[in-house]
Chain A
Amino acid sequence: MTPIHMNITLAFTISLLGMLIYRSHLMASLLCLEGMMMSLFIMTAIMASNAHFPLINIMPIIMLVFAACEAAVGLALLISISNTYGLDHINNLNLLQC
Chain B
Amino acid sequence: MTYVLFTLSVMLVMGFVGFSSKPSPIYGGLALVVSGVVGCMIILNYGGAYLGLVMFLIYLGGMMVVFGYTAAMAIEEYPETWGSGFEVLACFLVGLMMEVGLVLWVLDFDEVVVMVGFNDMGNWVVFEGEGSGLVRSDSIGAGALYDYGRWLVVVAGWTLFVGVYVVIEITRGN
Q: Which residues in A have some Cβ–Cβ distance to B below 8 Å?
A: 1-8, 10-11, 14-15, 17-18, 21, 23, 25, 27-28, 30-32, 34-35, 38-39, 41-42, 45-46, 48-50, 52-58, 60-62, 64-69, 71-73, 75-80, 82-83, 87-88, 98
Q: Is the interface of B mostly helix, strand, loop or mixed?
A: helix
B135 to chain A: closest residue by CB: A54
> CA–CA, A73 to B163, complex, Å?
7
On chain B, which size bracket covers the interface? 35 or more
Question: Per-residue 0/1 for B130-174: is the Cβ within 8 Å of any A Cβ (1 yes, 0 no)?
Answer: 000000011011101100110010001001100110110011010
B40 to chain A: closest residue by CB: A42
Chain B hits for A57, CB < 8 A: 48, 50-51, 137-138, 141-142, 144
* Inter-chain contact A62/B102, CB cutoff 8 Å: no
> CA–CA, A86 to B58, complex, Å?
30
Known: A1-B117, A18-B19, A45-B51. A69 touches B28 (CB 8 A): no
* Inter-chain contact A80/B156, CB cutoff 8 Å: no
B39: contacting residue among A15, A38, A56, A80, CB under 8 A: A38
* Inter-chain contact A1/B120, CB cutoff 8 Å: yes
